[in-house]
Amino acid sequence: MSKIRVVHYINQFFGQIGGEEKADHKPEAREGFVGPGMAFQASFKDKAEIVGTVICGDSYFNENIEAETEELLTMIETFKPDLFIAGPAFNAGRYGMACGSIAATVKEKLGIPALTGMYVENPGVDSFKSKVHIVSTKDSAAGMRDAIKKMAPLALKLALGEPIGSPEEEGYIPTGIRVNFFEEKRGSERAVEMLLKKLKGEEFTTEYPMPDFDRVDPSPAIKDITKATIALVTSGGIVPKGNPDRIESSSASKYAKYDIEGIDDLTAEEYETAHGGYDPVYANKDADRVLPVDVLREFGKEGKIGKLHRYFYTTTGNGTSVANAKKFAAAIAKELVSDGVDAVILTST
């Protein structure tokens, strides 16, 4: 059988172009392996060959995610790869986001297996672990050798379509995707053993971690609130009168974003609620009761806050309908970050 054709993605640093000062390096493609690619190639022996390497600066990628993903995809495709490897990115956040994003896109769009590697706390892990296999690595490039030792065999398995074992066996971060398999012992026996361990205070591993309770560590406090840009987000369904974007009254399938530049008060003539889950009379009379634009404007003028963000975000539904809310919030969060918002006041009914 012919060798597996591999394309490798790395950033400007591992591409030996430069450090942070070169983070705006534009994407380029080179034949063969570059930097850490050499160690991968050695590990593949004659089973696979790195036919091309794509390099992009971390900042450049993250500032142009959509356009860059497209451009990189085209570059990668010209090598006609059977397998795609990105990174490893260790604990480098922007590099991790780039690796995850490209690997996931390659897998989806080109339909070939893709793999990346990161430190478990890299923000790229949470964003992409369900979309692409991410090998768990150490937090710095000192763990390169160890990372390649885990990544190379898993990459080959993926390329050959061999069954992938458990996260513990293969060294990847659990994907959150539930996959059936046969255990050695039946469920009741596993239950009895788990109970005995729990009773003795020994460590045990639940087979299904409860999902609703993944906590996010509190973000650090705002040092100087009088300088902060604060955005308003609400699940109380406040919308311009007439609900121009047709936000559903319940189980909303979308959110909307409205410009409040120059608006000091939400009046009954201009704003109302689209929420179908509570008595709308009070919010329709004065939407500031749900979305306190009036007070935040005053606070802005009084210098109590830096300023109120130009847009507010709104949807309906309440706290527990996690499914959609999660989707909206991820999109909202992305915009808030790129708009330089420092803090958010989220109001719910």
Partner 1 sequence: MVKEIERAGIPVVHICTVVPISQTVGANRIVPAIAIPHPLGDPSQPADKEKEIRRKLIDKALQALSTEISEQTVFE
Partner 2 sequence: MKLELGKIPIHDVKFDSESRIEGNTLYLNQEELISHLMVDENIKSITIDVARPGDKTRIMPVKDVIEPRVKVSGKGQVFPGTLSKVETVGQGRTNVLKGMAVVTTGKIVGFQEGIIDMSGPGADYTPFSKLVNLVVVCEPVEGIDQHTHEKTVRIAGLRAAAYLGNLAKDIEAEEIETYETYTVKESMEKFPDLPRVAYVLMLQTQGLLHDTYVYGVDMKHSLPTIIYPTELMDGAIISGNCVSACDKNTTYHHLNNPVVEDLFKKHGKELNFVAVVITNENVYLDDKERSSDWTSKLVEFLDVDGVIISQEGFGNPDTDLIMNCKKIEAKGIKTVIITDEYAGRDGASQSLADADESANAVVTAGNANMVIELPPMDKVIGYQEVADVIAGGFAGSLKPDGSITAELQVIVGATNELGFNKLSAR
Partner 3 sequence: MIIITNNAKMMEETGNSIEKEYIDGTHKDVLIAVRDRIHKGHRLLTHPLSGSVKPNQTPFKSVAISKVPEKLDLDSLDIIEKSIRTYEQFEKIPTDNGKANNERILNDYREIDYKLLESALISANRRG
Interface ranges with partner 1 (CB under 8 A): 126, 212-223, 225, 228, 230, 233, 235-236, 278-283, 285-286, 288-292, 294-296, 298-299, 304-305, 318-320, 322, 325-326, 328-330, 332-334, 336-337, 341-349
DSSP lists the bridge partners of residue 115 as 85, 133
Tell whether residue 320 is a contact of partner 2 (CB under 8 A).
Answer: no
Q: Smallest gap, in angstroms, from Cβ of residue 90 to partner 1?
A: 19
Contacts of 346 (CB under 8 A, 6+ apart): 233, 234, 235
Q: Smallest gap, in angstroms, from Cβ of residue 325 to partner 3?
A: 11
Q: Could you tell me the two tokens for 180?
A: 């059936």
Distances (CA, A) of 277 to 175, 240, 321, 323: 35, 18, 13, 17
Q: Which helix (H) or strand (E) holds 271?
A: strand 271-273
Site for partner 3 in 230-289 (CB under 8 A): 250-251, 276-279
Tell whether residue 223 is a contact of partner 2 (CB under 8 A).
Answer: no
> Which of partner 2, partner 3, partner 1, none has residue 188 at its interface (CB below 5 to 8 Å by kind)?
partner 2
Cβ atoms within 10 Å, residue 160: 14
Dihedral angle sign, alpha carbons of residues 110, 113, 117, 123: positive
Q: Is 93 exposed, middle or buried (0-12, 13-18, 19+ CB in 10 A)?
A: middle
Distances (CA, A) of 169 to 115, 135, 150, 174, 301: 16, 11, 10, 11, 59
Q: Smallest gap, in angstroms, from Cβ of residue 24 to partner 1?
A: 22
Q: What are phi and psi of 223, to 5 degrees?
A: -65, -50
Cβ atoms within 10 Å, residue 225: 14
Tell whether residue 330 is a contact of partner 2 (CB under 8 A).
Answer: no
> Which of partner 3, partner 2, partner 1, none has residue 336 at its interface (CB below 5 to 8 Å by kind)?
partner 1
Stretch that binds partner 2, among 199-207, 238-246, 285-293, 301-309 (CB under 8 A): 199-207
Q: Smallest gap, in angstroms, from Cβ of residue 38 to partner 3?
A: 45
Q: Could you tell me the two tokens for 285?
A: 């009379």
Q: What are phi and psi of 242, to 5 degrees?
A: 90, -5
Site for partner 2 in 121-150 (CB under 8 A): 130
CA trace torsion 11, 13, 16, 22 (10° rounding) = 90
Q: Total binding residues for partner 2 by CB under 8 A?
A: 35
Q: Smallest gap, in angstroms, from Cβ of residue 279 to partner 3?
A: 7
State how far the Cα of 59 lies from the Cα of 20, in Å rounded to an integer. 9
Binder of partner 3 out of 268, 322, 330, 331 (CB under 8 A): 322
Which SS3 state, helix, strand or coil, does residue 320 take? coil
End-to-end Cα separation, the chain, in angstroms: 63
Tell whether residue 216 is a contact of partner 2 (CB under 8 A).
Answer: no
Question: Of 6 and 283, which CB lies nearer to partner 1 in the complex structure?
Answer: 283
Tell whether residue 318 is a contact of partner 3 (CB under 8 A).
Answer: yes
Question: Whose structure tokens read 């109001």?
Answer: 347
Q: Is 83 exposed, middle or buried (0-12, 13-18, 19+ CB in 10 A)?
A: buried
> Which of partner 2, partner 3, partner 1, none has residue 239 at its interface (CB below 5 to 8 Å by kind)?
none
Q: Total binding residues for partner 3 by CB under 8 A?
A: 11
Question: Of 167 and 300, which CB lies nearer to partner 2 in the complex structure?
Answer: 167
Q: Smallest gap, in angstroms, from Cβ of residue 264 to partner 1?
A: 13
Question: Of 110 and 343, which CB lies nearer to partner 1 in the complex structure?
Answer: 343
Question: Of 198 and 301, which CB lies nearer to partner 2 in the complex structure?
Answer: 198
Instruction: Tell me which residues touch partner 2 (CB under 8 A).
Output: 130, 166-167, 174, 176-192, 194-196, 198-199, 204, 206-213
Instruction: Tell me which residues touch partner 3 (CB under 8 A).
Output: 250-251, 276-279, 318, 320-323
